[in-house]
Amino acid sequence: MYYQLADGNLRIAGSMHLIPAGQQLPMWVPQACQWSHRVFLEHDNDPSIFTLPLGTRASANVPVDMWKRIADLLSGQQFDDLKLWAICVRLAFRDPSGFARGVEPFMRQFAVENGRAIEFLESPAEFATLLDAVDSSVIVSTMPPMLEEEAPRRNLKLINDMYEAWYQSDVASFDRVYLSTALMKIVELRAAMIDRRNENWLSKIESLVPSLQNTLIVVGAGHLAGDQGILSLLARRGIGSRLLA
């Protein structure tokens, strides 16, 4: 999922942050790194965006029986100071054995080894603010399926299905699987995690179209497809795209 935007030096790639263990990144990933002079990722890593303000606890917003189940599944981990959406991430990937690092870690390492600076489409705080605005009851409503014994197996299958579509650059199939995940089924969460961020990124991406340097933008593949996907939003502003790989 690697596209040329307009006719200039701007390309956009849809990434997977994690891929199934034992699988490879597609060849366009190192090729895109070598081609680029500037690289933009979504935002920088900042662990502080996952934690609640001092004196507040996640357990205050979760039913007692559900919290006990979460504590059992995340035994040995400290998580009561995490935001509810961060706990969802912990639950979804509580068994990391089936996963390997995806595109962004590869690109960060490439940048370090080749003296390239990485730039960003948003700040960590901007990302967190959108998710923080989602009512806690909405986030809690997504948790029950994550608490089931078979949830890690289901999640790994979804990641495998998304990987197969992503590796083949089948955007429609990827989006269909992506939208079937628990978080994306919730309108408020999809709006916060995908749609509003796409809108927020548009002006930045547009400003890069006339760049004289080879500029690569890397976003999660879920941001590309659909009527509110980046490719459609850019097309409505007269910026076309063509698939490279």
Give the separation between CA 39 and CA 240, rounded to whole angstroms: 20
Total of domains in the chain: 1
pLDDT confidence of residue 186:
83
Q: Quick one: pLDDT at residue 171? A: 87
CA–CA distance, 10 with 12 (Å, rounded to integer): 7
- 143-177: burial string, b at 16+ Cβ within 10 Å, e else: beebeeeebbeebbebbebbbebbbebebebbbeb
The candidate with the shortest Cα–Cα distance to 119, out of 37, 3, 19, is 37
pLDDT value of residue 178 = 87
92 domain residue, yes or no = no
Q: Which amino acid is at 172?
A: A
Provide the residue type at 201 as one letter.
W
The pTM assigned to this predicted structure is 0.90
- Give me the count of residues in the chain: 245
- Report how far residue 169's alpha carbon sits from residue 197's, in angstroms, rounded to the nearest whole number: 22
- pLDDT given for residue 47 in this prediction: 87
- Domain containing residue 21: 2-45+98-141+152-243
**Is 12 among the domain residues?**
yes
Neighbours of 95 (CB within 10 A): 13
SS3 13: strand
CB-based contact 150:72 (threshold 8 Å): no
The reply to whether 70 falls in a domain is: no
Q: Do residues 119 and 38 touch, judged by C-beta distance below 8 A? A: yes
Give the pLDDT score at 113. 92
**Would 187 be classed as within a structural domain?**
yes
Given a cut of 70, the residues of the chain with pLDDT beneath it are none
Q: What is residue 212's predicted lDDT score, i.e. its pLDDT?
A: 80
